[in-house]
Each structure stands twice: as C-alpha cells, then as structure tokens.
Structure 1
Amino acid sequence: MAPRTDFPPVRACLFDMDGLLLDTEDLYTLCINIVLAKYGRPSLPWSIKAKLQGRPFPQSSAIFSEWAKLPVSDAEYQAEVAALQQKHFPTTQPLPGVMQLLADLGRTRYWDTSAAAAAAAADSPENKKKNRVHIALATSSHANNFRIKTAHLTDLFSVFPSERRVLGDDQRVAPGRGKPMPDIYHLALSTINAGLAPGEPPITPEECLVFEDSVPGVESGRRAGMRVVWVPHPMLKQEYAGREPEVLAGRMNEAAAEGNGDVDPDQLGQVDDGWAEYLESLVDFPYERYGMAIPPPEVEAEPEMQQASKEAVAAENAQS
C-alpha cells in the first residue's frame, strides 16, 4: 500500500525503557545465563529472549519457565535472578543518542504555547512546527526494578515527571492488558493531556511517537494508533531479519499468541503504511521527519531560560 505522508507534527514522545533508553538487555541476559549455567542448562537464545522482551512479568515468566525447565521452582529461580540483578542493574547506562534526544526534546518547552502564540503561528507554516514535545515513560519494569536501574541516573530520568511514568505494576493497567496490548500507551498519553498548559489543545494518538526496542512493544504502539520508531538490539534485529515490515506493522501476532480475547484486528497496521520505521540507534534523530522543531542548544545559555529550566526541574522533582 502507499505509505501515509500527511501526518500532523509529533507533539508527544512516549518511551519504553529497557533496551531503548538503557543498556539493560545484555544485563538481563547475563543474570539469566548465570543461573542457567548453574543448573546445567544452555544459555538463553535470542529466539526465546525475543519473546520475553517488552512483556509484563507474568507473561514473560511463563514463557521462560516453559522453555528453561529448571529443576527449581519459579520462586527460587526468581530469587536467584533478583539477587544478581541487584548487583548488576546499578551499572546501567544510557544507550547512544539517548541523552541528546531527551535534552533536545526538553528544550521544546521554551516554545510559547499560549493561545495568542498559537493564533500567530497559524499564519506561518514554519511556526506551526514550533510545538512543545511532551514526553512520558511507558515501561513493563516494575517499580522496584525501575528504582534499581535508575537510582544512579536521577538527572537523566528527572525529565520524566513522576505522574508521567507508567510502570509495569501500575494499577491503572488491568491484568493481562500490558504490552502488546495498547493500554499502557493510552495511559501514558492521558497523563500528558492531564497536565497540558491552558490553551494547549489535547494531543491525539496520531500526534504521538512511540519509541520501542521490542516486537511486543511495537505492536502495543501500533494498536494504540500511534506512530512508532523501532530501535532493536542488533541480535533482535537479526532474529527478525526479512520480517521487518510485519514487525513495523504490528503484525507478528504477539497479542493473539497470548490468547487475549479482546484482540481487535482493526488496531493493527498495514505493511509499509508509513506509520513506523526502523532506526539503528537514536543518534542524530531525524526531528524534521516528524515535524518537530528543536530550539538551538544556546537557548539554554540565556539567563531567563536557565531559570525557567531550573524551575521546571524543581517542580518535577517536587512531584516525584
């Protein structure tokens, strides 16, 4: 089909965390493989790991248990892995391009979104691009793991106000409705819309850009009616070689494979429909492709902008 090209400018970016913002995927594998080796089992292959990524804990745990067939209970295995994660997760680091991307998006808060400014912008195609780009986090990581992974990265994650962090154990996401279902991204968008400034119109799903590394996560974003950027681990990309168009369309049957009775086929995309793309990394992100205008770096050097930045961060931290 002909790809769509008339998208509105992106006004909200919704981020997964593990393997997208942070280099946690290899740490997960390391911890799991240590336990597998202890019980004489083979290392975790990417064919199985790909099925674990992005999913809520109950689903991923069941998939792993069925494959691993360890001679210990699930509870004993989880305790051993959790102890290893406590040791290794505090070493997590942002993946390439992440810090620059979040800093760039953060500077869009300097665009004036008042009703008067919006009316003036209507006369200028260039000014129409000057929208604030709001961000939210939508991760399957539970609160405890989130804290372990991010406690040493407070500056990086301070850009996500606490009310715009949707975690895997968020009670507002019903059991069984985690990724690849769309609920977590709908909720993330609602947290943004709830805090928009007066005069700033609500953001629609097609004005959102989802950033994901996992295949279930891509399907989640597509089912939410949002555009998606897929930035997979190189080994995951290799695992799906030749099937990238179906991944980007959300057509890998991830939700159906879990037996979810509420799967809506109309939520799925179409191959090559223009709603999703693959990127090797987040370095040099193509903002113009998504209608986003980024203020120049020197804007933060202006005294009044520095003060505005400090006040914004202080307000966010006070709410955290």
Structure 2
Amino acid sequence: MTFKPVTHVLFDMDGLLLNTEDLYTTVFQRVVSRYGKEFTFELKSKIMGQQSKEFAQSIIDALELPLTVEDFLKETRKLFEELFPQSELMPGVEKLLRHLHKHKIPIGLATSSSIESYNMKVVHHKDIFDLFAYKTWGSSDPDVKRGKPYPDIFLVAAAKFPEHPPPEKCLVFEDSINGVKAARSASMQVVMVPDPRLDHKLVPEATLILNSIEQFKPESFGLPSYDES
C-alpha cells in the first residue's frame, strides 16, 4: 500500500511514543474513585489528546465531580510526579526515530503535554527525545490556542521546521481520536496506532491504522526503508 510521499514527520507522545496513557488512567481513577466514580475507556477516548485544563474540565463535567479545574490538576500533579518517571518507550519507537534521524528526515514532537510533565516523562529517555530538534508542548505554548481536535498544535509544530513544508508533506503519528482529527484538520496524513480496545470505525479519517509502530513501513510514504543503509 502506497500513500502520498512526505518529507517531514510529526509525533504525538503520550500513548504513542511512551506508555503514559496507562499512567494517566491509573492517576485519574485514583482521583475519581474518591467520589465513587469510574474513569471508563469511553471517557478516556474522548479526552485523549486534550490539553491539561481541557481534559480536567471534561472529566469534571462528565463525572459531575465537586472539584474545580485547579483542584483536579493539583490532586493529579502529585500522583504524576510519582508515576511519570516510570514511563517506558512503546515497541518500535526507538528504531523508527533513530532511522529517521540517521537519514536526516526532519522530525518534530507535537504533544499536548506541558513542558513540566514532559520533563518527568522523558527523564530516562533523554537520548531518544534529544533526536527531536523541534518540540511543541501544547499546554505550555501560547501559540497553540486550542487543543486537539483543533489543528493548532500541528500547524505550530510544522512551522518550526526551517524548510516550512506544506501540510501535505507532513506525516503525523497519533494514537487518539482527537489527534487524528487535529492532523486531518491540518491537512496532514496521519498514521494511527490506537489502544487495541478502540473501535477503528470511530476514526475513518485516519490515513493508516496500525497495531504497533513496529508495523510501519517508511517507504510507503516515500521515506527511506529500513533496508537502506
């Protein structure tokens, strides 16, 4: 299967490069269980990709929690400080990032995380994340006015490439419904690597859906294949 060739690649982080979505679930459940509530996968699917204040408000509204956004973020921050340093790379991530870097394919990070939570998550993986010359932290970047599913973060991230590639030359890697919608709204192709529980029918906009980054074939998008030295 062949798609339109690209020259630049943008990556989401949570749930795609790192297993942090599991950690988010653990933290959110700990908080909402105090109020007799359950953080379901259905709710998780709706908030994935949102900025911190957005997902806090979404959870509060959906579960009718007696908390302000500030209260919720304060409660979760303490737990995140404990768990985020345990983040692990997802299968195939290191191989792909090192491959693209070796072949001088410009890569950028486009995460809804704040720079503070990013630093906690990558503490044991700095050598890998240093491969990204261009990083955009949606919850900390004033240029990212709206979170996913709006296209802001990918347009801001792409604008950081010195070559200023047109959107159609950018390929996005995502794991969330909101992320896919954001990438498509930015007129970019998007490879989705979702949670195995997600119904693929919910993301008809995805250019390609894979079970793992390990399955990705760079040459399908005009990028150097793994066989190339």
TM (normalized to structure 1)? 0.67
d(CA) in 1 for partners of 2:225 and 2:101?
Answer: 9
Alignment of 1:44-123 (within 5 A): 44-109=39-104
Alignment of 1:272-311 (within 5 A): 276-294=207-225
d(CA) in 1 for partners of 2:224 and 2:66?
Answer: 55
- C-alpha distance after superposition, 1:113-166 (max 9, x if no partner): xxxxxxxxxxxxxxxxxxxx21001110011111111122111100012xx111
Q: CA deviation at 1:11?
A: 0.7
Q: CA deviation at 1:214?
A: 0.6
Q: 1:295 to 1:50 in 2, by over 3 A?
A: closer
| 3-state DSSP of counterpart to 2:103 | helix
d(CA) in 2 for partners of 1:16 and 1:79?
Answer: 24
Q: Which moved more, 1:216-225 or 1:50-59?
A: 50-59
- C-alpha distance after superposition, 1:212-271 (max 9, x if no partner): 001111011101111110111112x1xx35x24xx2327xxxxxxxxxxxxxxxxxxxxx
| Contact persistence 2:56–2:72 (CA under 8 A) | no
Paired residue for 2:172?
210
| 3-state DSSP of counterpart to 1:19 | coil
- C-alpha distance after superposition, 1:85-106 (max 9, x if no partner): 1000000011011010101111
Q: CA deviation at 1:295?
A: 6.8
Q: CA deviation at 1:55?
A: 1.2
Q: Aligned pair 1:234/2:206, yes or no?
A: no
Q: CA deviation at 1:72?
A: 4.1
Q: CA deviation at 1:63?
A: 1.2
Greater Rg over alpha carbons, structure: 1
Q: CA deviation at 1:294?
A: 4.1
| Contact persistence 1:248–1:278 (CA under 8 A) | no
d(CA) in 2 for partners of 1:73 and 1:189?
Answer: 34
RMSD of aligned residue pairs (Cα, Å)? 2.0
- Percent of aligned positions that are identical: 36
Which amino acid in the other structure matches residue 28 of structure 1? Y
d(CA) in 2 for partners of 1:95 and 1:45?
Answer: 22
| Contact persistence 1:104–1:295 (CA under 8 A) | yes
- C-alpha distance after superposition, 1:24-68 (max 9, x if no partner): 001000011112223322x21111111110012232222100122
Paired residue for 2:205?
249
| 3-state DSSP of counterpart to 1:86 | helix
- Point out where structure 1 has 5 or more consecutive residues left out of the alignment: 110-132, 197-201, 251-275, 300-320
- Point out where structure 2 has 5 or more consecutive residues left out of the alignment: none
Q: Which moved more, 1:32-41 or 1:144-153?
A: 32-41
| Contact persistence 2:53–2:69 (CA under 8 A) | no
The match for 1:160 among 127, 132, 154 is 132
Which amino acid in the other structure matches residue 191 of structure 2? V
Which amino acid in the other structure matches residue 26 of structure 1? D
TM (normalized to structure 2)? 0.92
Greater fraction of residues in helix: 1
